[in-house]
Amino acid sequence: MKLGQFRETAVEESWPGVVTDEGIVDLAEAGSGAGVDLPATTHKVLEIWNWERKVQLAVDYAEKTGTALHAEADVETVAPITDPGKIIAIGLNYSDHAEEGDQEIPERPLVFSKFPTTVCGPDEAVEWDPNYTEAVDYEGELVAVIGEEARNVNEEDALEYVAGYTIGNDVSARDLQLADEQWVRGKSLDTFAPLGPYIHTPDEIDDIGSLDIWTEVNGERLQESNTEHLIFPVAELVAFCSRAFTLEPGDVIFTGTPDGVGYFRDPQVLLEDGDTMTVGVDGLGELTNTCRHIE
């Protein structure tokens, strides 16, 4: 199942939907026809006990009756979750990326955070003031979305708490990041967490530990790896985080970026006004955003 959020016009509130071969199912509308109450955001959908079953009832109703369906071309896709409670991010989780920055391979996951106000969706602009930061960089990443409260879970059970997976770009202001001991400022400029296009439930993915991942800037491929190279795989990250704090439905985990980020390239690649970034993960589609300077 591919769960996302959509809107018909830029002024309309977004609504949660499921992408099917027949079109995009408006879950609240289809749910009311099917007699199941479904809320107005994916975050709230994920909080419902047994949400997948209820969403499937709504989808079945829409497909059977031909109602509450929208053509993909008629709607805009926004971020699949716009108000995560937490954005957890993992630093240096591919050994090649740790080495390119002259960093030690971590002995345990290096956890940091981005604020929820960083989220933006597919095709939305990533914006910054060039007088505030002069070293903006991309980081293509696999993102896990939590679907069930997880506290102190073990690695063997950890993936049962994951609702699905999407693509993220952990956009980073390297000058701010490296000037501070805490990374949160350089990682948390508004719009610095593009997410999407959809949350893919785990049944759609053969092996989360062997997916190609790549990033292109203006069509040039600058990152290329595979999730098999993650130092700490998704299950270990969920278990590790859940020992420190409660993971809640709608929380997202950026799992780390492979080598090839712009700042450590020779010659260096720093993002500029008008640049286009595309991150792709096997089976999860592509996430494209354009860079824009603001004052």
Binding site residues, Zn ion, CB under 5 A: 139, 170, 257
The whole-angstrom distance between residue 151's C-alpha and the CA centroid of its chain comes to 22
SS (HEC) of 203-240: HHCCCCCCCEEEEEECCEEEEEEEHHHECCCHHHHHHH
Question: Which residues, in sequence order, are CB contacts of 288 under 8 Å at separation 6+?
Answer: 122, 123, 276, 277, 278
Q: How open is the CA angle 156-157-159, to the nearest 5 degrees?
A: 105
Give the nearest distance from C-beta 183 to Zn ion in angstroms.
9
Tokens of 175: 């000058």
CB atoms within 10 A of CB 10: 7
Classify each residue of 141-164 as buried b or exposed e, where b means 16 or more C-beta atoms within 10 Å of its C-beta.
bbbbbbbbebeebeeeebbebbbb
**Nearer to Zn ion by C-beta: 42 or 257?**
257
Give the nearest distance from C-beta 141 to Zn ion in angstroms.
6
- Which among 246, 212, 208 has a CA at the least distance from the CA of 226? 212
**Nearer to Zn ion by C-beta: 42 or 215?**
215
**Nearer to Zn ion by C-beta: 29 or 139?**
139
Give the nearest distance from C-beta 289 to Zn ion in angstroms.
15
**Nearer to Zn ion by C-beta: 65 or 182?**
182
**Nearer to Zn ion by C-beta: 139 or 216?**
139
CB 287 within 8 A of CB 216: no
**Nearer to Zn ion by C-beta: 6 or 254?**
254
Query: Nearest residue by C-beta to Zn ion?
Result: 170
Tokens of 269: 């690649």
CB 223 within 8 A of CB 259: yes
Give the nearest distance from C-beta 251 to Zn ion in angstroms.
16
Give the nearest distance from C-beta 20 to Zn ion in angstroms.
32
Give the nearest distance from C-beta 170 to Zn ion in angstroms.
3
Give the nearest distance from C-beta 47 to Zn ion in angstroms.
26
